[in-house]
Structure 1
Amino acid sequence: MPGSSLWLVPPPSSPIYKTLQTLIDSIIPSRFPNLQPPHFVPHVTLTSDIPADLADPQALLGSIDLPSAGDVVVHFEALDVGEAFVKKLTLRVENDDGGVGVVELATSCRRKGVEGGDTKKAEEWARKKFMPHCSLLYSGIDLTKVEEKREQLLQDLREAGIAVGSKDDKGSINAWTGGSVWFVPTHKSIEEWSPVAKRPLV
């Protein structure tokens, strides 16, 4: 992945954090017994392309105008299968009126981290290119093999308590509010994708 990235990570104490981590680490891989996908933390990538040689990641985080935690709601609307290694299986995140604060947060991160403070460029990127998602599987497996198991995977999600697209299912945990923004050196190998700076939404 080009450059470093800023991630939005759900609150570690939230039920959805544990649920997503279990899906990533065990439930989803169990559907593909010949795979050994890498471990990663549940997150939504707010932007990548941040210069890899940035001197002070924590200072960058401190300079971003972050919305309040209660204004950032990540809601899952669909399960997607894709070509890219890091998007092989993802939960699509609403980025219109349902993605409360997510686009605003990503735009702020892009403006400071990539566009040198240029609001117009950041807003254009958010409007044309930003496709928020929460990955469940990193893999080079052919997407058709994943697509074949879509119904089983949707059932796995339902059994875990995530009913994608449903806002009224009282038993579902298909959204989270707030969280922390992590600076992650995603230009390195996946084994080194650990945060070098963090800032909680408050």
Structure 2
Amino acid sequence: MTNLGTSLWLQPPRNSPIWQQLATTIQGLKPIFSDSENFEPHITLTSNISVNTQGQVDFVLDRAVAAAKCVPQGFQIHLSSVKYGSRFFKKVYLQVEPTPELLSLARICREDFVYMPEAMSQARNYQAMSAEERQKIDTQVGQRAAEWTRNEYDPHVSLVYSDLYPVEDADRRTIETRLEDTFGSGYDESGLGWKNGRFALVRCEGPVDEWEVLGVRDF
């Protein structure tokens, strides 16, 4: 298992039907995997955020809300078909449509909360730099975040965390039957998803049951 540092999650509205369906599915699939964990439904926007104070937690959450509210029609998440992978955190998951709005939000979060703090800490004195020097760093950080979003970011909603691999065909059939029972036949083409929701800043270090929610914002 890999420590993810502190991660920013985008979650369905608390106690909404889709929240309940996803949470029930995560819990219901645990018996299929002997090492599976329970966790809240979410899309990770970025990991490796460094926060040490409540003020930093508030900054991240407030900035994320401000970015999401720039979408005038509301922030829409679209889920599609179930996928299977080899990694612990992407064993069984629902793919999320990489809409321009979602990719833009992930890029902003990666830039503002990961790459910019790194660049500022590596600079000898960022605030004392000339405007031209700061602009050069800002441009490099923006380009790095755009490249990460283009080449590495893969939005999804995990349903199972597990080291077991591969997922056997019989287990796949069981999983897909349960998903259809929960979400309905053809759920992957029926517009499954949610609008707006909640940001959660979560310290993802150590065992999953020891992860700590540092703060949340509904939007």
TM-score, structure 1 normalization: 0.83
Among candidates 12, 16, 38, match of residue 18 of structure 2? 16
Q: Displacement, 1:164?
A: 4.2
Question: In structure 1, what is the Cα distance between the partners aligned to 2:48 and 2:103?
Answer: 17
Q: Between the two proteins, what is the percent identity of the paired residues?
A: 29
Q: Displacement, 1:160?
A: 0.1
1:156 is the counterpart of 2:178? yes
Unaligned stretches of 5+ in structure 1? 169-173
Among candidates 132, 141, 159, match of residue 155 of structure 2? 132
Residue 192 of structure 1: aligned partner: 210
Contact preservation (8 Å) 1:71, 1:100: no
Unaligned stretches of 5+ in structure 2? 117-137
TM-score, structure 2 normalization: 0.77
Among candidates 200, 211, 215, match of residue 182 of structure 1? 200
| Runs of 4+ with >4 A deviation | none
Instruction: Tell which deviates more after alignment, 79-88 or 119-128.
Output: 119-128
Aligned residues: 188
* Aligned pairs (5 A) from 1:114-129: 114-116=114-116, 118-129=141-152
SS at match of 1:13: coil
Contact preservation (8 Å) 2:12, 2:197: yes
- Decide which structure has greater helix share: 2
Q: Displacement, 1:36?
A: 4.9
Q: Which has the higher contact order (CA 8 A, sep 6+)?
A: 2
Residue 30 of structure 2: aligned partner: 29
Question: In structure 1, what is the Cα distance between the partners aligned to 2:109 and 2:176?
Answer: 32
Residue 94 of structure 1: aligned partner: 97
Contact preservation (8 Å) 2:94, 2:159: yes
Residue 48 of structure 1: aligned partner: 47
